[in-house]
Amino acid sequence: MLADQFKLIGGLETSAGMLTAYVLGCLTTGFYLVRLCTGQDIRKSGSGSVGATNVGRRLGRSGFFITLAGDFGKGALAVWAVRHFSGSDLLAALALLAVTAGHIWPVQLRFRGGKGVATSLGGLLLWDWRLAAAYSVGFALLYAVFRRSTLPGLAAYAGLPLAGYALNRDPLEALLMAVLGGLVWFAHRNNLREEKLFGSAQRSGNSGIKQPHL
């Protein structure tokens, strides 16, 4: 069974699907939206991310939601397309990784993209809505306790493999969910340092709630 799975992963169809998903991920909504509206490079503003949070700081609420919808939608589209044409949940999971990687490291932007949250969650919702629901519940519970967004969000990603195992997903698919979490964790490495500093400031009397980094 495992040998058949690896044979499937190594096929030409898989390579084409992963490349297509990666290219779709590279279509970073926020970068092109800001470029269209202002002629500027969003990566030179705010946090330097092309994600919805940073775009929202530049273009306001409408920019935030347009970027969020675009990034979420391309993740969902990538997973839907690969599953539709291949009929394989395993290949769809690989597409989820590829489209997320494309968003985080878009080749045409010299590999400087977003954080991958909206794109990965859009794909996850199409791949297995139960895992998306498990993520949402885990994030909501942790956020209610810590009142911060980055660490609860990343902790919820870390729980995806366990949730997959509990839902009787294939072990290899559960492993791919761990890889997905690793991609998002890596993309947030700088935010983790900021979150630590924010926590110290909060203990010393400065309170507030950060927006999630999408």
What is the tens place of the pLDDT at every residue in 16-60?
889 999 999 999 999 999 999 999 999 998 888 899 989 999 999
What is the tens place of the pLDDT at every residue in 61-77?
999 999 999 999 999 99
Asked if residue 211 is part of any domain, the answer here is no
Beta-carbon-side half-sphere exposure of residue 66 (alpha carbons within 13 Å): 19
**Angstrom distance (rounded) from CA 99 to CA 83:** 14
Domain range spanning residue 28?
Answer: 2-203
**pLDDT score for 124:** 96
- How much is the mean pLDDT over the chain? 85
Asked if residue 213 is part of any domain, the answer here is no
Asked if residue 120 is part of any domain, the answer here is yes
Asked if residue 209 is part of any domain, the answer here is no
Asked if residue 17 is part of any domain, the answer here is yes
**pLDDT score for 152:** 87
Percent with pLDDT over 70 in the chain: 85
pTM above 0.85, yes or no: no
More confident site: 32 or 200: 32
Asked if residue 208 is part of any domain, the answer here is no
Asked if residue 212 is part of any domain, the answer here is no
Q: Is 204 exposed, middle or buried (0-12, 13-18, 19+ CB in 10 A)?
A: exposed
**Angstrom distance (rounded) from CA 5 to CA 172:** 9
Asked if residue 103 is part of any domain, the answer here is yes
Based on the structure, what is the number of domains in the chain?
1
